[in-house]
Amino acid sequence: MERLTILAACLLLPLAGVAKPPMPAESEWLVTESALFSMLLDPKGQSGTVQYALELRLRKPVTETLYVTVDFENPLDKETPLFAEFEVAPGATHVAATSEPISAIHSRRKYLVKVWIYADVKRRQLLGTHEQLVEFNMPRGLLQQYGIRVL
């Protein structure tokens, strides 16, 4: 099955009457450089997916390995977030985080992403946190056409 990859941001060109998107967040450790949804669209309308994509710049020098946990608000169940865990190597200046793909989402909604930075692999020594809202706003018909279920 042929698939097309499209960034939601490209499709979200100015629409009349749309609210202002969330501002990039800044915290002690991080600055959001981009926060959006990427889409893997199925032209046959059967199995399209949506995925969070976050690009963050580190505000402090990384001299020791950092351990990061990211919780992405789950459109299907707010109480059960999607998550990613990864390490940041010494010398890094940027980090990227993506969620697992999801097949259903609410449109015209802002979703919360929370980032925790730890000094230890067991994630007990919290160094800092970061929160970013990510907006998803696509026409219902377009989502359904490419196999993404609208909640």
User: At 65, is the pLDDT very low, low, confident or very high (cuts 50, 70, 90)?
Assistant: very high
Distance from C-alpha of 103 to C-alpha of 40, rounded to nearest angstrom: 10
Looking at residue 2, its pLDDT comes to 42
- 32 — phi, psi (to 5°)? -75, 125
Residue 134 C-beta-side C-alpha neighbours within 13 Å:
29
Residue 108 DSSP label: S
Write out the two tokens for 144: 């359904």
Task: Compute the average pLDDT of residues 51-80.
Answer: 96
CA distance 15 to 21: 12
Instruction: Report d(CA 75, CA 101) in Å as an integer.
Output: 11
Average confidence (pLDDT) over 68-82: 96
Query: How many Å apart are CA 150 and CA 146, to the nearest integer?
Result: 11
Domain ranges of the chain: 4-150
* DSSP code at position 45: S
Is pLDDT larger for residue 145 or for residue 61? 61
**What is the fold of 4-150?**
Immunoglobulin-like (2.60.40)
pLDDT at position 90: 98
Backbone angles phi, psi at 124, to 5 degrees: -115, -25
Quote the Cα angle for 52-11-86, to 5°: 15
